[in-house]
Amino acid sequence: MLREINVNGVRFRVADEGHGPPILFVHGFPLDHTMWRAQIDEFSKTHRVIAPDLRGFGGTDGALYSVSMEQFADDLAGLLDALAVEGPVVFCGLSMGGYIAWQFVQRHPARVAKLIVCDTRAAADSPEAAANRLKMADIVLKEGPEVVAWGMMPKLFAPGSSEHCPAVIASVRQTVLNSNPIAIAAAHRGMSVRPDVSSLLPTLRLPTLVLCGVYDAISPPAEMQAIADAIPNAQFALIPNAGHMAPMEQPDAVNAAIRRFLAG
């Protein structure tokens, strides 16, 4: 069920399906909750699945000049309150959703039972990458989301995915093209100043699943394996025939890895 819910004056659109222990799915940049369709369908059989559109994206309002990963994390805590979610959640974030996860576990530790980070990074942007994001923020406001789709799409998928799942690629492209340029610019600005969380990783005590597409060109397997190695209670799952969008490209393999982790 898609719901609209007011959180501190901002209208959020959120998929809220199923009953049971809560799992929160947090999308990547510049997407919306629809990237998690296969996970929503699978896990709503056994869990309460909550998959919001982040501030400014999809059907959620509240775009700002810049949105920090801390702000996104606090929005999610407010959303869980507004949805009357009791007890801690399994927090599953992809890429930017993972950057938000690192902030969420620090700012709202009592709200997290287990952590799943997919195709994400612990490192901050290099100065060059951060400067490029600020440039892109200005460009997208002038030229629209096509420029983002043009730059990002080639990096998101495994080489075989254009044949194996063309509909997934088309739907991601469409979501990017539908995204609000103000939200894209705001998230770029927020990501450009996100902190390096490498020193956080050894302090985490949460059961954690680190999941990565074997062809991920944005957060490559070796970097994600290093994240798993640094977290004391982490498992690493490498997803064959998948790139950065592993949960969409190989939903069965990703869902099986998540199921094994939840059962463990």
Name which position in 134, 218, 226, 256 contacts ligand MLT (CB under 6 A): 218
Q: Is 215 in the site for ligand MLT (CB under 6 A)?
A: no
| Residue 134: φ, ψ to 5° | -65, -40
Residue 34 or 44 with smaller CB distance to ligand MLT: 34
Name which position in 95, 103, 179, 192 contacts ligand MLT (CB under 6 A): 95
Residue 44 or 103 with smaller CB distance to ligand MLT: 103
| Residue 115: φ, ψ to 5° | -125, 135
Q: Is 190 in the site for ligand MLT (CB under 6 A)?
A: no
Least distance in Å: CB of 117 to ligand MLT? 12
Neighbouring C-beta atoms of residue 243, cutoff 10 Å: 24
Q: Is the separation of the CB atoms in 46 and 20 below 8 Å?
A: yes
Least distance in Å: CB of 81 to ligand MLT? 25
Q: Is 96 in the site for ligand MLT (CB under 6 A)?
A: yes
The CA radius of gyration of the chain, in Å to the nearest whole number, is 17
Residue 177 Cα distances to 8, 139, 166, angstroms: 28, 14, 17
Site for ligand MLT in 33-72 (CB under 6 A): none
CA triplet 186, 187, 190: central angle to 5 degrees?
90
Q: Which spans of this chain sit near ligand MLT (rule: CB under 6 A)?
A: 28-29, 95-96, 191, 218, 244
